[in-house]
Structure 1
Amino acid sequence: MASLNGSPASPAALQALALTNYGHFTTMRVEDGGVRGLALHLDRLVSDCRAVFGADLDPEWVRECVRREAGGGRAGAFMVRVTVFDPELDLTAPDRAGRPGVLVTTRPAAGSADRPLPALRVQRLAYCRDAPSVKHVALFGQLRLRRAARLAGFDDVLFTGPDGLVSEGCTWNAGFIDEAGAVLWPEAEVLRGTTMRLLRTAGGGHVTAAMPDVRLRSMRAAFATSTGFGVRALAAVDDIAFRTDDPAIGALRESYAAVPLDRL
């Protein structure tokens, strides 16, 4: 299902998005009509719209578009993606883009608070996303390396910068637990995910630190965070194995599950 500005999306509009691939988005998990960190998702859309289109976006209009597509008392958990793009964008004159629309799509949700997804084995590969602070729709580089990692026998990819320091996962943030139980987030230019921000706001000894190979090997546990799955353990990064049952990861899951749902 897909709606554009509250009405059914036309094939022509979807074709425009597919062919230009210029825009930005956020993805949120809806559980029984509520979303964790809804204000953060809306703030992201507003700030990214200024960065990508130089235009203002009304967060209440976005909320209404989401309600129309995903409301109606729909029970259970599912994912909602809000993509902001200009259906009339001309590839030869992208500077004229200035009438972005709000596309809302839904898909099934994976995992749950009481049934976390299996731990991931990831491969480090060098990559820096274009405009990393913006959640834009240009995913080719990320997916190309996710594919490479999976073809090499891993579940996903973990990016490193030109300096070799860990930055972020393909579509998720990475975190680590040191021997003292502190939560470490990589010191790097990354997309600040909503789940990561909610966990950091909840407190509990979170710090930001550069993550070279030698420090990575001293960590006792590692995890990924995403709106789609919450907190997911990492079983290994390359040849470095981690505890997947570490109590600190369990505590992070509990902390995230305790974040109240904001009603749509």
Structure 2
Amino acid sequence: MAELNGQPADPDALAILALTNYGHFTSMRVDDQRVRGLSHHLERLARDCAAVFGADLDPDLVRRYVRQAAADRSGASVVRVTIFDPGIDLGHPSKANTPNILVTARPAPALPLPPLRVKTIRYERDAPAIKHTGLFGSLHTRRAAQLDGYDDALFTTPDGRISEGPTWNVGFINDDDVIWPEASVLPGVTMALLQHHTPHTTAPITPADTQHLHAAFATNTSIGVRALSAIDETPLPPEHPQLARLRDTYLTIPGEPL
């Protein structure tokens, strides 16, 4: 399913998005026409639209398109809202200032998902505070990690600190304390919800530090709270009690109606 501005998407417009890959997006899990953190998703889209296109975005219009896209789908779904300008010119991206709203949907995975084994790779996304469509670097690191026998990558900064995963934020547990890495990362909606509902701290964390921590997890709107069972060669317990509490906390956050 793909709808552009509330209508079946024009293949020519989608080709422009594929060929230029200039835009931004958010993905949200829809359960019974409700979305945890919906207002955060809409705020992100408006904020990133100003940064990427220098234009305003109508959050009520986005909400209507998402509601329309999710109306005919049974069960939980992941709805992605991508903002791009079909009239963009590769030679003059400064003139791309007419954002269009592309909505796509797919079935949501059942939660919880199995733990991940991740490999640290030095990488920092372009404009890390923006959830943009430039996914080549992130997916390239994921591919490299998988070819080395891991499930996914975990980014480290040039000075050796852990930051985030290719499509998720990462958190750590020491005893029962929740620690988020101090680094330039995408401000994830699920991370923000967990931070709002759970005591936490922020600190610089290196791969060597993980040998002394008690658990770790990945988090985004599609996966909720997903345990990490290993970082490089360091095993981590995927059944730490705090992981279960975080998972339950996330699942009990009420969704906002579309």
Name the TM-score class by shorter chain: over 0.9
Q: 1:29: which partner in 2?
A: 29
Distance in 2 between the 1:40 and 1:148 partners? 32
CA contact (8 A) 2:85 2:97 kept: yes
Q: 1:154: which partner in 2?
A: 150
Distance in 1 between the 2:221 and 2:230 partners? 21
Give the CA deviation at 1:222. 0.5
Please identify runs of 4+ aligned residues in structure 1 that moved more than 2 A: none
CA contact (8 A) 1:31 1:75 kept: no
Distance in 1 between the 2:206 and 2:9 partners? 46
Query: What secondary structure is seen at the aligned counterpart in 1 of 2:219?
Result: strand
Q: 1:218: which partner in 2?
A: 212
Distance in 1 between the 2:109 and 2:210 partners? 28
Distance in 1 between the 2:187 and 2:91 partners? 31
**Pairing partner for 1:186 from 145, 168, 181:** 181
Q: Partner amino acid for 1:196?
A: M
Q: 1:66: which partner in 2?
A: 66
Give the CA deviation at 1:111. 2.0
Distance in 2 between the 1:261 and 1:101 partners? 26
Q: What is the TM-score with the length of structure 1 in the denominator? A: 0.96
Give the CA deviation at 1:184. 0.5
Q: 1:131: which partner in 2?
A: 127
Query: What secondary structure is seen at the aligned counterpart in 1 of 2:163?
Result: strand
Q: 1:253: which partner in 2?
A: 247
- The answer for unaligned runs of 5 or more in structure 1 is none
CA contact (8 A) 1:24 1:136 kept: yes
Give the CA deviation at 1:69. 1.6
Give the CA deviation at 1:189. 0.3
Distance in 2 between the 1:53 and 1:98 partners? 5
Can you list the C-alpha shifts for 1:44-68, whole angstroms capped at 9, x where unaligned? 0000000000000000010111122
* C-alpha RMSD of the superposition: 0.8
- The answer for unaligned runs of 5 or more in structure 2 is none
Whether 1:20 and 2:20 are equivalent positions in the alignment is: yes
Query: What secondary structure is seen at the aligned counterpart in 2 of 1:41?
Result: helix
Q: What is the TM-score with the length of structure 2 in the denominator? A: 0.98
Q: Partner amino acid for 1:40?
A: H
